[in-house]
Amino acid sequence: MTKKIIFINSHPIQYFAPMYKYMNEQGVNTEAWYCSDESIKGGFDKEFGVKITWDIPLLNGYSYRFFKNHSWKPSISKGFFGLINLGLIKQLFSEPKAVIIVHGWNYFTHFMVLMLGKLKGHTICLRNDMPLSHEHYKKGWKQKVKKIGLKYILFPRIDNFLYIGSQNRLFYESYSIKENKLVSCPYAVDNDRFKGQFKAIKPNISIIKTKLGIPTSDKIIIFSGKYIDKKRPLDLLHAFNSLNSPNCWLIMVGEGDLRISMERYIEKHQLKHVILTGFVNQSKIAEYYAIGDLFVMCSSLGENWGLSVNEAMNFNTPLLLSDLTGCSEDLVIQGVNGYTFKTKDVIELKNKMEEILIKNSLTLRTTSEEIVDNYSFLSITNNLKNLL
């Protein structure tokens, strides 16, 4: 009998759930074990600063199980001991041999599955998104302890390391993980859904722009993310102000703690062509991507990939990404479908915006849409089949 694949997740995630459904549709028996139902119940998101309930189905088309959380401070936002799912760990030992894919080691439950799973004969796989480029900035005794713990305690107990991109692969290689244990498992979004939405919206782009008060011939920069320090939204506001182009607009899709600072900056500099949308749910975000002429992500440390970049690419949008955005090396072909810039360098950010929007310098020999086709549920499924 073919083994099944079991994903261990902290909670149902809007990017991952459609993939599990897709894998089952492709004949791969895929299940998800969840440590928390916070994303299903909905609730206050500390980083967005608002109450959120995702409006796409997170539990359709695949088998799943929720396990009781025994933590004394139960939450996905309460650190390592926020998730202690003793029933999940127990189930590991009564479950027939399977391919177990664990997303990270940052919770007690995840760590224990990685440590104990092989004892029952499961094939244990780690899907972590850490980019090597971010590791260079981490210093101190905690980092040294982490390196020793990963190299000598955790990693020897793992059968396969599923890397999401080039920087993540380099991270594993820095721990001398052998080539035959490395499996490409790129981060992806539901490309088919987004491409379908783009096709439906395309005839109405001018109507959407008019509703927003934007002339149909004007160009639009799209930012999509939380208004938090890691995302550096104020860098983009500074750069846009410097751009000083009367035919360009900036739409910042998101919400978060920095909103007040952003509003103050917009008011101080009388930026008439900036729109702060507030939180936009999955079913509505396509309208913003569809009208964009450029997608910008200017994140710093902690942006291990940046899945909203994948989303925007399905709308064939050129990219401008900071070099610490984890996906920048994989999804940007310099001068073709976009550029990268030095993180925090507002002048370079402004100059590259000018290159793309005003000087039309991109060759577009290979488009964003063509590139993102390689970061798909299909490629993930095909690679994971080899583990069964």
Contact status, residue 187 vs residue 307, Cβ threshold 8 Å: yes
Rounded average pLDDT over 159-182: 97
Residues 273 and 368 in one domain: yes
Longest dimension (CA), the chain: 66
Read off the CATH number of the domain in which 183 is found. 3.40.50.2000
Q: Is the dihedral of CA 45, 73, 152, 100 positive or negative?
A: negative
Q: What is the pLDDT of residue 44?
A: 59
Give the list of residues 6+ apart from residue 382 with CB closer than 8 angstroms, or none. Answer: none
Residues 138 and 232 in one domain: no
Could you give the 3-state DSSP secondary structure of residue 297? strand
Q: What is the pLDDT of residue 380?
A: 97
As given in the structure block, the two tokens for residue 192 are 């088919």
Contact status, residue 33 vs residue 8, Cβ threshold 8 Å: yes
Residues 174 and 307 in one domain: no
Distance CA 145, CA 167 (A): 22
Distance CA 286, CA 143 (A): 39
Rounded average pLDDT over 2-9: 94
Q: What is the pLDDT of residue 288?
A: 97
Residues 100 and 238 in one domain: no
At 80-125, the pLDDT tens digits run 999 999 999 999 999 999 999 999 999 999 999 999 999 999 999 9
Residues 108 and 210 in one domain: no
Residues 280 and 167 in one domain: no
Residues 236 and 218 in one domain: yes
Question: For 80, which DSSP code?
Answer: G
Rounded average pLDDT over 339-355: 98
- Provide the residue range defining the domain that includes 281: 191-372
Residues 167 and 227 in one domain: no
Q: Is the pTM for the entire model greater than 0.85? A: yes
Residues 44 and 139 in one domain: yes
Taking alpha carbons only, the member of 20, 35, 21 closest to residue 85 is 35
Residues 105 and 237 in one domain: no
Distance CA 73, CA 75 (A): 6
Confidence of residue 47 (pLDDT cuts 50, 70, 90): low
Residues 238 and 310 in one domain: yes
**Structural domains of the chain, count:** 2
Residues 136 and 240 in one domain: no
What does the CA dihedral 331, 333, 336, 338 come to, rounded to 10 degrees?
A: 60
Contact status, residue 146 vs residue 186, Cβ threshold 8 Å: no
Rounded average pLDDT over 128-133: 96
At 254-292, the pLDDT tens digits run 999 999 999 999 999 999 999 999 998 887 899 999 999
